[in-house]
Amino acid sequence: MSNIPDGLLFSESHEWVSVYDGVATIGVSDFAQAEMGDITYVELPSEGDVLAAGDEFGALESVKASSELYCPVSGTVIEVNEALESSPEIVNSDPYGAWMIKVRLSDESELSSLLSAGAYAEIAR
């Protein structure tokens, strides 16, 4: 059973989103990290990159797999989690602590199309 905390929003491509004061913090779900196995590398964008909802913003790598990361919302990247560069394993050990990017939202109305924890639980199994 994967951990799906209430209060977060989710995308169908297994990213989670938490919003505070117009800024979305984005990572990948517990289900996604378990599917990937031991994560060996997290490829992230640069600060200042402008993303549209659905854009690829990076990738996760394990020994035998690679998976693209998609930004569920539109906006500008204002911060990336540099700790993941040297310690990708925290995506496995603490997926909801291991945020990847913070995006200043350009269109908050997009949030309504994301999934609630309950709705995501239907997909993540």
Partner 1 sequence: MRYYDRLIFELSRKGRIGFSLPACDADPVKAETAKGVTGIWRESPLDLPEVSEPDVVRHYTNLSQMNFGVDTGFYPLGSCTMKYNPKLNEEVLQSFLGLHPLQPESTAGGAEELLSFMKKALCEICGMKGFTLQPCAGAHGELTGLMLIREYHRSRGDEARCKVIIPDSAHGTNPASAAACGFEVVEVKSRPDGLVDIDALRPLLGPDIAGMMMTNPNTLGLFEKDILEIASLVHGCGGLMYYDGANLNPLLGIARPGDMGFDVMHVNLHKTFSTPHGGGGPGSGPVGVSEKLLPYLDKLKVSGFHGNFGVIARACAYILSLGREHLAEAGTFATLSANYIKESLKDCYRLPIDSVCKHEFVFDGLAGGGGDVTTLDVAKRLLDYGFHAPTIYFPLLFHQAIMIEPTETESKETLDAFIEVMRSIAHEASREPEVLRTAPHNTPVSRPDETAAARQPVLKYEFR
Partner 2 sequence: MFAYFPHTDEDIRAMLDRIGAESEDELFSDVPSGFRLRNGYDLPSSMSEDEVRAFFNGLASRNTRLTVFAGAGAYDHYTPSVIPYITSRSEFLTAYTPYQAEISQGTLRYIFEWQTMICSLTGMDVANASMYDGPTAAAEAMRMCVACTRKRNTVIASSTLLPGVLEVLRTYARNCGVNLVETDAIGEAVAEGTLDLAGVIVPSINRYGIIESHLGLADAVHEAGALLVEYCDPSALAVVKTPAEWGADIAVGDAQTLGMPLCYGGPCAGFMACSSKWMRKLPGRLVGQTVDASGRRCFVLTLQAREQHIRREKASSNICSNESLMALWSTVYLSLMGPEGLRRVNALCYVGSHYLHDALLATGRFTDPFEGRAFLKEFVLQPLMDAGKLQQTLLDAGFFGALLTEEGYVSFCVTERRTRAEMDALVRVVKEAGL
Whose Cβ is closer to partner 2: residue 41's or residue 119's? Answer: 41
Which of 88, 91, 102, 124 contacts partner 1 by CB under 8 A?
88
Distances (CA, A) of 41 to 88, 95, 101: 6, 14, 15
CB of 38 to partner 1, least distance (A): 4
DSSP single-letter state for residue 62: E
In angstroms, rounded to a whole number, what is the distance separating the alpha carbons of residues 16 and 26? 6
Residue 88: name its binding partner from partner 2, partner 1, none (Cβ under 5 to 8 Å by kind). partner 1
For residue 41, list its beta bridge partners: 61
CA 91 vs CA 98, 99, 100: distances in Å: 5, 8, 9
* Nearer Cβ to partner 1 (75/95): 95
Residue 89 — φ and ψ, nearest 5°?
-65, -20
Q: Map residues 22-61 to x or -, x wherever contact with partner 1 holds by CB under 8 A.
A: ----------------x-xx-------------------x
Query: Of the candidates 2, 18, 62, 87, which one interacts with partner 2 according to CB under 8 A?
Result: 62
Residue type present at position 47:
E
Residues that bind partner 2 (CB under 8 A): 40-41, 43, 61-66, 68
Residues that bind partner 1 (CB under 8 A): 38, 40-41, 61-64, 88-89
